[in-house]
Structure formats: C-alpha cells, structure tokens
Amino acid sequence: MSNHAGHPWISTSDEESVEKMLRVIGVKNVEELFSDIPDKIRLRLEDWLKLDIGFGRPLSEIEVRRLAEERLRRNIVFNPPPFMGGGVYPHYVPPLVKYIISRGEFLTAYTPYQAEISQGLMQAIFEYQSLIAELLDMDVVNASMYDWASALAEAVLMAVRVNKGRTKFLLPATMNPIHKKVVEAYARPHGIKLVEVGYDRESGWLDLEDLKAKIDENTAGVYIQYPNFFGVIEGGVKEAFELAHDKGALAVAGVYPISLGMLKPPGELGADIAVGEGQSLGLGLNYGGPYLGIFAVKYDMRLVRQMPGRIIGLTTTEDGGERAFSMILQTREQHIRREKATSNICTNEALMALAAAVYLSLLGGEGSRRLAEINYYHAHYAQLKLEEIGLNTKVFKGDFFNEFPVSFNEVKIEYRRVHEALLEKGLHGGLYIGGYYPELGETALYAFTEMHSVGDIDKLADSLSEILRRLGGG
C-alpha cells in the first residue's frame, strides 16, 4: 500500500490493518476485491491521477464557497412562482413549519431501531396519521411513502395481494402519466395486467361505460384520481367505486389534499384505499423532492395487514393513567418478514410527514376550507382572463379545481415557442401535455394557487397576449 500511515480519520486504513483484513477474508490484495469488474471499464488509481478533471489540487473553503455562489447566481428565481401544474404546486409554507422540523429532536427521516425509546418522534408520526385520517375520512394511515407515485404503485400491489388470484388492475386515462410509468415499473415483475379506462373528450371525466366494459371478476382494483390530471373534478367517482365493489374489486382514490377543503373526501365516496401527494402540505417544490406519499385504508384488517410501510399505534396502561406510542403490526415489515414483507420501505419520509402534521395543525378545518376556495377562485379568474385574450380555456366542460388545460391549437402557435417567450419575461408557463395526450395537440396545463395573486394572473394574461401578437397568433 502507498498510504502506510493510513487516513487520519479512518483508524483501520493503515497498512497493517488492511493486510490483516485481507488475510481474514482470503484475498491477496485490494485489487483482487475488484476482480469482478472487467479491465476495460476499470479505472485504476494511476489512471485516475492522470485524468484532466477538476482543479488538479485541493481547494480552500473560501474558493469552494466562491464557486458555489457563482453557480447559484446562474439560477433563475421566478416571481411569481411557476404556473406549472401536473402534480406538485407552489404553496405557502409557514416559517413555523421549517422551524419545527429543523429542531434537533426531529431533524432526521430515520426511525430508530429501538423506536419506542423516541416517544416524541412516535407521537409526532401518530399525530400525522391522525390528521391525515381526518382529512381523508379514512381509518388507518401509515407513517408515509416516498411520494404519490410510489404510494399508488404500492396500492396496486396491495390490491392484488388482498384479492388473491386476480391479476388485472384498471387505471384511468385521466391519471397523472408520470405516476402511471411508476406503476408500470412496479407491476411488471408481478405479472399484473394494467388496463386503461378511457375518458370523455367533452367533459374530461372518466368514461363510466368503458369502465363497465373492462371491469370483470379478474379485476383486483380500480383507481380514480380526483381532481384528475387535467384538473377536472371527476363527476362519477362514487359510481365508479360502486362498480368496483360490485365485482369484488378494491376502490383506490388518488387525491390532492388541498382540494379536500372543498371536495368530498375519499372515505365518503367509498374508497377502500386512498393515496396522494403530501407536497402541498407544507413542503416546497424542492426540484422534485423529497416529497410525501400519503397512504390510507378503511378499517378492515384484511386491508390493514396488507398495508405497506410503518404504522404507529397508541396504547395505555390498564387504568388509562399513562400512554405510550409504538410501531404496530411489525410482522408485515421487511426487518421481520424479509422477502415476504408487504413492502420494502423502511425509513420512509417521516420528516416530511412531520412537516405536514405541523402545517395541518396550523391550518385547521376552517383554514383548509378557505385555502381550497382561494385556489379554486384564483384558477377560475385566470380561466376568464386567458379566455379574454383569445385562448381556448374550455378544453373540457367539466368543472376544475385549481388547474386547467389551455389550448394553443386555435391560435396555431407551437406551445414550445410560447413557453420560451414567457421564460424571457421571467414567467414559467404551464406544463405541455400534448406529448402525453397527442389528441390534445398544442395544449398546456396551467395551475394557480394562493401564491398567485390577481396581479400575477393579470401579468400572465398580458404577457401571453403580447406574445400571441408577436408570434402571429392574435
């Protein structure tokens, strides 16, 4: 070895310690540890030292800081926030949320191996579960999943486990197409057949007749997202779930939590499983994560025992004088069941769940209703303003929550050009969805939240109007 003394921070990196470890495991030298890697793709130390990369020397902390700040200056900060819909949204995060989750007692997403020692963390997760259960009108909530997509994928696997022998699962064409890709990746190794249910081009709703034609005794579950990917508030959710139950299939709802301040919760509509994205509950956009997968079921031990992830429970002494929190039904989990576990999620997103719990406790029931109304009315104001400048904002007749498709087909302008022009003005436009739905052509999904003021919406409309004139569309 060239480093005889070893690394000052690694006590076993000196030559004597390394040779002893090599003897114990039965190899001659460190090189032999990497013998499985083909020579043509291996990069040895002498080759590494010859690479013309980096600065060729260690950098001081001052130099590193200057480099980082220079890179950060290249970032574009959008004000107002992006108008991009499609599953995650710029919502206001109260400073208290960040303060609480930054405290030393909580600043970890990791559940200790002796979890019950950390009663504070156990209680925090229990409070999250309780708040989400109330919001969704469901009975049992787990400690969290990674995000909406992973929660949905686990719901599909769970439905097949519960309905043994059934191998088909129905997904709506109106669901988030990115979530669908994740579900496909999870389902493929299990031989699950995913069948798409079409949608009505006029209303933007799920086609119930197509659902009736495709559901059968081999169907393990049916998924409905509401509001759907187009932002449209689905009109036949309860009927779809009744059709699922008539065939013995599980009803799975996908929800946007903020909308539940106005819309009926999945439990009231008859859902067996509810999933969703908790990003809107006190989390920033964060360039795609970390987010928070919500997973809940109704109280049926047939379902509860097949739930993925961890569940925190509450117990008391016989006289009720003292209480304690603990992880329950652990025999479902990978540290006990190994390959037979209901899921392979372990540390999950507990810190994000804590943020959601703090956010919901600050918001309260009345705040939840008011926030949903603000989102709803801002989006409907925007719909009228964009219609005034000649854009087709009524791609679908179904009512929407806080996002809707805007068609640029009628003005005969490629949306890519519009979006680039908006970026030049410091505005981030909607999400182009023509690639996911070719039948919609040059269409983008625009979203509006409490972070977009009336003035922001007016600015967007004025900017789009000027761009349309400049590009020849109006």
Domain endpoint, select from 342, 359, 376: 359
Q: Do both 311 and 436 map to the same domain?
A: no
Distance CA(303)–CA(334), nearest Å, equals 18
Residue 80 lies in a domain: no
Ordered per-residue pLDDT tens for the chain, 474 residues? 444 567 788 888 888 999 999 999 999 998 899 989 998 888 877 777 777 878 877 789 999 999 999 999 998 888 899 999 899 999 999 999 999 999 988 886 565 566 777 888 889 999 999 999 999 999 999 999 999 999 999 999 999 999 999 999 999 999 999 999 999 999 999 999 999 999 999 999 999 999 999 999 999 999 999 999 999 999 999 999 999 999 999 999 999 999 999 999 999 999 999 999 999 999 999 888 899 999 999 999 999 999 998 889 998 888 888 899 988 877 667 666 667 767 777 667 889 999 999 999 999 999 999 999 999 999 999 999 999 999 999 999 999 999 999 999 999 999 999 999 999 999 999 999 999 999 999 999 999 999 999 999 999 999 999 999 999 755
Residue 159 lies in a domain: yes
Residue 9 lies in a domain: no
Sheet holding 273-277, edge to edge: 140-141, 293-297, 273-277, 250-255, 219-226, 168-172, 193-197
Residue 71 lies in a domain: no
Domain extent, residue 424, equals 366-471
Residue 394 lies in a domain: yes
Q: Do both 385 and 413 map to the same domain?
A: yes
pLDDT digits (tens, 9 = 90+) for 318-377: 888 889 998 887 766 766 666 776 777 766 788 999 999 999 999 999 999 999 999 999
Phi and psi, residue 339, nearest 5°: -70, -15
Residue 253 lies in a domain: yes
Distance CA(72)–CA(402), nearest Å, equals 31
Nearest C-alpha neighbor of 472 from the set 420, 414, 431, 394: 414
Q: Do both 222 and 256 map to the same domain?
A: yes
Q: Do both 195 and 328 map to the same domain?
A: yes
- The full DSSP string for 302-340 is HHHTT--S--EEEEE-TTSS-EEEEE--GGGSHHHHGGG
The single-letter code of the amino acid at 324 is A
Helices (H), 166-317: 177-187, 208-214, 237-246, 266-269, 301-304
Check if the beta carbon of residue 130 is closer than 8 Å to that of residue 180: no
Q: Do both 39 and 142 map to the same domain?
A: no
Q: Do both 121 and 242 map to the same domain?
A: yes
Residue 90 lies in a domain: no
Mean pLDDT for the chain overall: 92
Q: Do both 59 and 108 map to the same domain?
A: no
Total structural domains within the chain: 3
Q: Do both 277 and 387 map to the same domain?
A: no
CATH number at residue 162: 3.40.640.10
Distance CA(349)–CA(290), nearest Å, equals 8
Residue 314 lies in a domain: yes
Check if the beta carbon of residue 375 is closer than 8 Å to that of residue 89: no
Distance CA(435)–CA(410), nearest Å, equals 18
Q: Is residue 58 reached through a cis peptide bond, with omega within 30 degrees of 0 on the bond before it?
A: no
CATH number at residue 380: 3.90.1150.10
Q: Do both 37 and 170 map to the same domain?
A: no
Task: Label the pairing between strands 323-327 and 193-197.
Answer: unpaired
Q: Do both 144 and 265 map to the same domain?
A: yes
Query: What is the pLDDT, as a whole number, of residue 326?
Result: 85
Query: What is the pLDDT, as a whole number, of residue 116?
Result: 74
Q: Do both 287 and 408 map to the same domain?
A: no
Check if the beta carbon of residue 261 is closer than 8 Å to that of residue 371: yes
Check if the beta carbon of residue 158 is closer than 8 Å to that of residue 345: no
Q: Do both 317 and 451 map to the same domain?
A: no
